[in-house]
Amino acid sequence: EVQLLESGGGLVQPGGSLRLSCSASGFTFSSYAMSWVRQAPGKGLECVSAINAGGGTTKYADSVKGRFTISRDSSKNTVNLEMNSLRVEDTAVYYCVKGWDSGFDWFDSWGQGSLVTVSS
């Protein structure tokens, strides 16, 4: 059974930084793309970043480009999201999401989510 466990969320001031981590199990982690998808309170879904299976290709939403960095460690089965220069509008539940295969296509398993609140 696929399990995705996010950690690292919390309250941070505008301009601050936060690092989200996702621990994956139940599948061959190194064979699948991974993504972070967020959902602001009462709003829809937005993919903020994705990384392919090999880690050599990354994607970012325009709204976070230059501020967020995605990375993965296949020795630890983890995917991370480093978030800098955080803004109030980054407040959301952040989901760790497994891709269908090694590239970028669709999302087949979601974590429970980690709440990030950016507020002074």
Partner 1 sequence: SYDLTQPPSVAVSPGQTATITCSGDKLGYRFVSWYQQRPGQSPVLVIYQDTKRPSGIPERFSGSNSGNTATLTISGTQTMDEADYYCQAWDNNYYVFGSGTKVTVL
Q: Which residues bind partner 1 (CB under 8 A)?
A: 35, 37, 44-47, 50, 59, 61, 95, 100, 104-113
Q: Closer to partner 1 at the Cβ: 16 or 97? A: 97
Minimum CB–partner distance for residue 58 and partner 1 (Å): 11
How far, in Å, CA of 80 to CA of 102, rounded? 17
Instruction: For residue 111, give the DSSP letter.
Output: -
Residue number, 46 or 82, with CB nearest to partner 1: 46
Residue whose CB is less far from partner 1, 62 or 75: 62
Closest CA to 106 of 2, 4, 35: 35
Distances (CA, A) of 68 to 3, 83, 87, 96: 24, 5, 12, 15
| Least distance in angstroms from the C-beta of 44 to partner 1 | 5
| Neighbouring residues of 7: CB distance < 8 A, sequence distance ≥ 6 | 20, 21, 22, 23, 114
Closest CB 111 distance from partner 1, rounded Å = 7
Smallest distance from partner 1 to CB 97, Å? 8
Taking the least distance from each CB to partner 1, the nearer of 11 and 45 is 45
